[in-house]
Amino acid sequence: MSDTPHIATSNNQLNKLRASVLGANDGIVSTAGLVLGVTGAAASKETILLAGFAGLVAGAISMAAGEFVSVSSQRDSEKAFLNRTKSQIKKEHASELDELVEIYTAKGLSDSTALQAAKELQQNGTLMVELEKELGIDPDDLSNPWSAAIASATSFVIGAAVPLAAIALAPADLQLPITAGAVLLSLILTGTFSARAGQADKTRAALRVVTWGVGAMAITYAIGHLVGVSIS
């Protein structure tokens, strides 16, 4: 069936990886921006840590909720496509056997080999299942909103812990450079990991993540400093 729409269902591992990378990056940048903004206002360490922890909890919940809603919608779309394509296969083709033979021959198998393979699948009762997978439909590999939500929230917490730990452990006069350095290093690692997982250019990915992270930290620190000066 050459004119049948073809899309590949989402792979849960890739889905969780995407959610994890986004969660970690957001946790690092948003929490760093928050604590540095409060630091710029010359607040006490206790106030900074309290604000950071509140941001961590709120951010993790927000990321989990956002991922759950987004992936649930994606899963609904996958189910709808699955049902439509199953129905189309049955309506447009009298024989799933002929359809799978056509797919196999298009891949380079001889007519006799393709027919034999399809007949064996028909005999063991898995013909329709194999045809669905060949068309990019796998009912067992639909997106899982719960796994994406958990991965996103967990990675957000881990990412947010970096600037919080740096602020908590650094001496008062070195909070800014130590926190900024820890955040930059974690952003580089996150960008490199995401690029490696997606087989993209590592330098470009790391530079992109670091640029946005530095921008966010600089802006929030400057705003916090201006607010602190105006209040004082």
pLDDT in tens, 190-230: 888 777 766 777 788 778 878 887 887 788 778 876 775 44
Is residue 167 domain-resident? Answer: yes
Q: How confident is the model at residue 105 (pLDDT cuts 50, 70, 90)?
A: confident
Is residue 217 domain-resident? Answer: yes
Is residue 121 domain-resident? Answer: no
Is residue 158 domain-resident? Answer: yes
Is residue 23 domain-resident? Answer: yes
Is residue 218 domain-resident? Answer: yes
How far is it, in rounded angstroms, from Cα 99 to Cα 29?
50
Q: Which residues contact 98 (CB under 8 A, 6 or more apart)?
A: none
High-pLDDT (> 90) share of the chain, %: 13
Is residue 114 domain-resident? Answer: no
186-to-18, 29, 143, 189 alpha-carbon distances in Å: 17, 10, 28, 5
Q: Name the residue range of residue 202's domain.
A: 12-83+144-231
pLDDT in tens, 172-189: 888 888 888 898 898 888
Count of domains for the chain: 1
Is residue 67 domain-resident? Answer: yes
